[in-house]
Amino acid sequence: MDKNLKLKIVTPFKDTFDGVVESCTIPGSEGSFQVLTGHASLLSLVEIGELKVEKSKNEIKYFATSGGFCEVNDNIIKIIVESAEDSSDIDILRAKKAKERAEKRLKDSTDDVDYNRAKMAMARAINRIHIHNLSV
């Protein structure tokens, strides 16, 4: 077994991250959990949330993630999600506008509004704003 912890984050559009890390904290369906070298094998759902990647003690990256799953096996973490946006790439104005649109849809809910879709859009927008603020 390799002693280095390798992380690969994949979305339908691109490989977002591929490299060696010291740890990775993942927003799982039962709460966030941290993976370090030698972690037991597992499969987990990944929720909308904060993905924290510690490349070294002095270099931490944050990603806003959406739903998907992850696999940990033999010091390799594979995260496959709908989206994973680096905090430095988040367009904060776009995220705030998305939040406003979702709030309006939820407030003005009629039979034409898909409540669950609007609620998920709100959660993604709030998460993107939170992750952006971590890098400021």
Q: What is the DSSP string of 40-58?
A: PPEEEEE-SEEEEEEEETT
Res 118: pLDDT? 86
CATH number of residue 55's parent domain: 2.60.15.10
Summarize pLDDT for 42-97 with one digit per residue, the tens. 999 999 999 999 998 889 999 999 999 999 999 999 999 999 999 999 999 999 99
Res 2: pLDDT? 65
Q: What is the DSSP string of 92-130?
A: HHHHHHHHHHHHHHHHT--TTS-HHHHHHHHHHHHHHHH
Which amino acid does the sequence have at 42?
A: L
Same domain, 96 and 76: no
Res 7: pLDDT? 98
Q: Is the model's pLDDT at 1 over the cut of 80?
A: no
CATH number of residue 99's parent domain: 1.20.5.440
* Selection from 63, 26, 24 nearest residue 46 by Cα: 26
Same domain, 24 and 49: yes
| Mean pLDDT rounded to a whole number for the chain | 93
Number of folded domains that form the chain: 2
